[in-house]
Amino acid sequence: MEALPRVRPTAWSSEALRTLFPARFKPVFVSDALGLAKDLRVGGGRGYVAVREVEAGELLLVEHPLAVRGESLKADAAALAEACSEDDDYRRAAQTLYPAGASIDPERLATVWRLCAFETGIYAYQSIFNDDPDPNCLQLFVAEDERDEVWATRPVAPGEHLTLSYVQPVEASASRRAKVLRHHDFLPPAPDDDAVARLEEALDALEADLDDLAAAREHAAMADHLADSKVRRRARSLFARAAATNNNNDDDIDVAALRAALAWLDDLDADPNRGPHHPDAGFAAGLAAAALDRLAPRAAASSIAAATGRPWTTPAELYAARRRLQARDDRCRMLYDSRRWLPMEKK
């Protein structure tokens, strides 16, 4: 099995980055690969660049939020304004967040919340990451510890910008473009193809209701004929997830779901901005392994091979394929597991 990235100690790449926010808000972990870039034309004039080579699956930042989301933007801004009026560390942190300024009145802080906050809250150092439709990093939220983690999903060269997608999924459907404009004050590029835009909207609805297995299958079939690889990936992933969620006993559905998961995995492997180390690759492999688990007791290996175009013509080959897919899922889970990187807290 391919070696995992080595565990590196927490370290600051520069004094400017270390002192950007009060020491009280020091991250749980920060990588020495994170370099602060200024005078940029995007992101309020600043962002992160890699100051050394970064490996795929490398942990870059672990941070607790400055504040978590409440019931409304107005309430969030008022709560942060109150904290700033009572605590100099919060005041300094809020003044540093984009758009930087001395004012701590609720109107400015509402703008700070709108432009800097992620779904789980507002973060000091994570707020410096700029948006990209094809990011080289992703954020994972650890609910039990209320922290966000930022991971590199592909190798990054020194000097290259380190970026996140501000909304999930990454694809820029009309509703998600509107969300970025509303919350972050810029507009991502729109799909060039009207058919892509229409399918994106249908996938938005499906994302909220994975019980609609028929719609998921129909959308996956439609996406197969589109040139847009992002939409193909998303449609295939939703169908494979819907089939697993519904736990059906329909061979036809499970074969189609297996094909979708394998095609999704192939797309990820071929995409230089995703690649075999992206966590979605592990998820796709796990869904394919689960589909094989459901099919193996009910369908002949030769029929599964014929339906998927894979060389799994005997039960032994089918079992070996399932084992490889599950091992890939397990490796990705280990790769993006901060317990491997962070010292266990003493109880």
* Over residues 218-226, mean pLDDT: 75
Whether 153 and 262 share a structural domain: no
Whether 160 and 128 share a structural domain: yes
For residues 250 and 295, what is the distance between their CA atoms, to the nearest angstrom? 9
Residues 299, 302, 303, 305: what is their CA dihedral angle, to the nearest 10 degrees? Answer: 110
Residues 49, 55, 61, 62: what is their CA dihedral angle, to the nearest 10 degrees? Answer: 170
Write out pLDDT tens, residues 107-145. 899 888 888 888 889 999 999 999 887 889 999 988 888
For residues 187 and 93, what is the distance between their CA atoms, to the nearest angstrom? 27
Write out pLDDT tens, residues 231-269. 788 888 888 888 887 666 788 888 888 988 998 899 888
Whether 310 and 239 share a structural domain: yes
Whether 271 and 233 share a structural domain: yes
Whether 216 and 323 share a structural domain: yes
The verdict on residue 289 lying in a domain is: yes
The verdict on residue 170 lying in a domain is: no
Q: What is the 3-state secondary structure (H, E, C) of 149-193?
A: EEEECCCECCCCEEEECCCCCCCCCHHHHHHHHHHHCCCCCCCCC
The verdict on residue 58 lying in a domain is: yes
Alpha carbon distances (Å) from 330 to 282, 292, 333: 7, 16, 5
Whether 247 and 292 share a structural domain: yes
User: Total structural domains in the chain?
Assistant: 3
The verdict on residue 6 lying in a domain is: no
The verdict on residue 193 lying in a domain is: yes
Whether 131 and 159 share a structural domain: yes
Question: What's the pTM value of the predicted model, to 2 decimals?
Answer: 0.82
Domain span including residue 243: 188-339
**Quick count: other Cβ atoms within 10 Å of Cβ 148?**
23
Nearest by Cα to 332 from 280, 261, 282: 282
The verdict on residue 5 lying in a domain is: no
The verdict on residue 315 lying in a domain is: yes
For residues 179 and 3, what is the distance between their CA atoms, to the nearest angstrom? 39
Nearest by Cα to 261 from 295, 296, 288, 222: 288
Whether 137 and 206 share a structural domain: no
pLDDT of res. 6: 84
In this structure, what CATH number is given to the domain that contains residue 145? Answer: 2.170.270.10
Q: Tokens at residue 138, please?
A: 């992703």
Place 178 in a pLDDT band, splitting at 50, 70 and 90: low
CA-CA-CA-CA torsion sign (230, 231, 236, 239): positive
Checking if the pLDDT of 207 tops 90, the result is: no
The verdict on residue 3 lying in a domain is: no
Whether 161 and 287 share a structural domain: no
Whether 84 and 210 share a structural domain: no
**38 vs 59, higher pLDDT:** 59
Whether 38 and 157 share a structural domain: yes
